Structure 1
Amino acid sequence: MSTLYVIKIGGNIIDDPVQLESFLIDFAELKGNKILVHGGGKLATKLSKDLGVESELIEGRRVTNEETLKVVAMVYAGLINKNIVAGLQKQNCNAIGLTGADGNIIRAKKRPLKLISDGRQIDYGFVGDLDDSSVDAQAIYKLVQAGFTPVFSAITHDGNGQLLNTNADTIASVIAVSLSGLYTTSLVYCFEKSGVLRDVNDESSLIKYINAEEYKELKKEGMIHSGMIPKLDNAFEAIGKGLNEVCIGKADALPQLKDKTFGTRLKTEK
Structure 2
Amino acid sequence: MFTTKSLKSLGAAAGLVASLFAATAAAGEVEDRIAERLTEAVPGLTVSSVRESEAKGLYEVQSNNGETIYTTEDGQYLLTGDLLKITDTGIANVTEQARAGQRLAAMEDYGSEGLITYPASGEEKAVINVFTDIDCPYCRKLHNEMPQLNDYGITVNYYAFPRSGPGTPSFKKYISVWCADDQQAAMDAAKSGKTVESASCENPVLEQYRLGGRVGVTGTPAIVLEDGNMVRGYVPAENLAKGLGLL
> TM over 0.5: same fold?
no
Ranked by relative contact order (alpha carbons within 8 Å, sequence separation 6 or more), the top structure is: 1
| Structure label with greater radius of gyration | 2
Q: TM-score, normalised by structure 1?
A: 0.27
Higher helix share: 2
State the TM-score, normalized to the length of structure 2. Answer: 0.29
